[in-house]
Amino acid sequence: MTYHYSPHTGELIATDNPADWMVSTDSPPPEFDNATAGCFWRDGTWVVVQATPQANPRIAAIDAEILALEAKAHRPTRDALAALAAQQPVDLTDAAKITEISEAIKVLRIERAAL
């Protein structure tokens, strides 16, 4: 049986109808799970390379959004705590900002947990 691979990457191409540009060999590739690995022709032999999962870029974006929101909440939280400590009325605008920011953070944390 003949096995085909890309001349550019060396990657095994499972096909019964090879294109003219493909390179062929009679050497059989080892068994591998093509869902979790790739098989490449390297220096006259097949090499199985396990896939390495890439970090989800959305997780980094969510973490950055959470940090930004926490920083944004710092001043109104600080001001509200200072007012409470001084036994003065809390600015409800600050309380509303803190609630809004807390809800946004909660939504982001739920999304992150689902990734």
61 and 110 share one domain: yes
Residue numbers of the domain that contains 85: 57-114
Torsion of CA 16, 18, 24, 25, to 10 degrees: 0
Residues 63 and 46 in one domain: no
Same domain, 110 and 73: yes
Kindly give the confidence (pLDDT) of every residue in the chain, 115 residues in length, as a single tens digit, with 9 standing for 90 and above: 899 999 999 999 999 999 999 999 999 999 999 999 999 999 999 999 999 877 888 988 999 998 888 888 777 777 777 777 888 777 777 778 888 888 998 999 999 898 8
Kindly report, residue by residue over 89-104, the tens digit of the pLDDT: 777 777 788 888 889 9
Residue 92 confidence (pLDDT): 74
Answer yes or no: do 91 and 62 share one domain.
yes
Question: Could you give the CA distance from residue 72 to residue 97 in angstroms, rounded to a whole number?
Answer: 9
Both 36 and 81 in one domain: the answer is no
Asked whether the whole model's pTM tops 0.75, one would answer no
